[in-house]
């Protein structure tokens, strides 16, 4: 049983909703990355999505775009991201890590090399935004060879045929995009999200995480009423961005992230 599967089974047994968190590797400071991953895990994150910095993150809004730019400017690349995961695994063997990013860095490394190195580092899955389901046969095969979960996005515009196509190959969980647009944009329509969930459940026997537009405890709790997990990314990256000061070290950023995570976790557990 994979770490992702075990995590969601435990949540179901406990009657709890999952919290999937996103942060960009290397941001706001490369040397903080592993510590920040532990802050997330120690304060209620059930799964950590670790963003691979990329120069043209087309699905991401300005908050995550800036994070990628900062990380790239400090030399953070895919091999370094895998090093962060290896270091995290020295003291945390249970929290699933999902790499999230774009195809270019993976293609440059080589798909089979990527999946092998990811598995060796302790990665559990990957969500590569621009590996479309119609062209992902090699990606899925390589992931499965190394016992990694291929995770895919579904959106309000996804047709029934596309949902079924994703359901045939996805493992781990489904990531449902709550709105049409980029990360951190738009406003949530809980009723619309709830109306789409039954079709996803009918197609795939996987947990459903909902992301894009979840920014606080109130919106997280609302989404948790219709989904198995909430995915929070831009709000976390923005929290770090707003609380990082060149002359003050990491204390303020870590404290602010801890407080943010506590609020979200408490809201989900109420």
pLDDT per 10-residue tile (average), the chain, 270 residues: 96 98 97 98 98 89 94 98 98 98 96 98 97 92 97 94 95 89 60 91 96 92 96 96 85 96 96
- At residue 35, what are phi and psi to the nearest 5 degrees? -60, -40
Burial of residue 211, with CB atoms counted within 10 A of its CB: 0-12 exposed, 13-18 middle, 19 or more buried: buried
The residue count of the chain comes to 270
The catalytically annotated residue of 29, 49, 124, 228 is 49
Residue 134 confidence (pLDDT): 87
Whole-model pTM: value is: 0.95
Is residue 49 part of the annotated active site? The answer reads yes
- Which residue among 27, 60, 124, 228 is the active-site one? 60
The CATH number linked to 39 is 3.20.20.70
End-to-end CA distance of the chain: 29
> Domain range spanning residue 76?
3-269
Separation in Å, CA 206 to CA 157, 160, 166, 174, 253: 20, 16, 11, 7, 34
The residue written with tokens 């596309």 in the block is: 162
Number of domains in the chain: 1
| Geometric angle at alpha carbon 126, from 123 and 132, rounded to 5° | 165
Cis ω for the linkage preceding 28 (within 30 of 0): yes
Reduced 3-state DSSP string for the chain: CCHHHHHHHHHHHHCCCEEEEEEECCCCCHHHHHHHHHHHHHCCCCEEEEECCCCCCCCCCHHHHHHHHHHHHCCCCHHHHHHHHHHHHCCCCCCCEEEEECHHHHHHHCHHHHHHHHHHHCCCEEEECCCCHHHCHHHHHHHHHCCCEECCEECCCCCHHHHHHHHHHCCCCEEEECCCCCCCCCCCCHHHHHHHHHHHHHHCCCCEEEECCCCCHHHHHHHHCCCCEEEECHHHHHHHHHCCECCCECHHHHHHHHHHHHHHHHHHHC
Could you tell me if 197 and 175 are in contact, meaning their C-beta atoms sit under 8 angstroms apart? no
């Amino acid at each position: 049983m994979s770490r992702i599967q075990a995590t969601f089974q435990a949540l179901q047994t406990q009657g709890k909703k999952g919290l999937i968190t996103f942060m960009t590797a290397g941001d706001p400071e490369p040397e903080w990355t592993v510590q920040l991953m532990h802050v997330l895990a120690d304060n209620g994150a059930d799964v950590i999505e670790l963003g691979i910095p990329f120069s043209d993150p087309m699905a991401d809004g300005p908050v995550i775009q800036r994070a990628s730019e900062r990380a790239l400017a400090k030399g953070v690349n895919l091999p370094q991201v895998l090093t962060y995961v290896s270091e995290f695994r020295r003291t945390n063997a249970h929290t699933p890590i999902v790499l999230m990013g774009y195809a270019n860095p993976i293609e440059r490394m080589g798909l089979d090399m990527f999946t092998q190195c990811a598995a060796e580092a302790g990665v559990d899955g990957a969500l590569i935004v621009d590996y479309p389901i119609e062209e992902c046969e090699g990606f899925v095969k390589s992931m499965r060879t190394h016992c990694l979960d291929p995770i895919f996005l579904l959106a309000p515009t996804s047709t029934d045929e596309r949902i079924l196509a994703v359901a045939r190959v996805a493992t781990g969980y489904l990531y449902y995009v709550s709105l049409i647009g980029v990360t951190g944009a738009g406003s949530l329509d809980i009723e619309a999200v709830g109306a789409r969930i039954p079709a996803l459940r009918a197609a795939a026997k996987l947990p459903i995480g909902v992301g894009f537009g979840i920014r606080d405890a109130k919106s997280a709790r609302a989404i948790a009423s219709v989904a198995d997990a909430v995915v929070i990314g831009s709000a976390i990256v923005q929290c770090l961005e707003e609380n990082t000061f060149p002359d003050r070290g990491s204390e303020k950023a870590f404290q602010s992230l801890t407080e943010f995570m506590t609020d979200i976790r408490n809201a989900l557990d109420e």
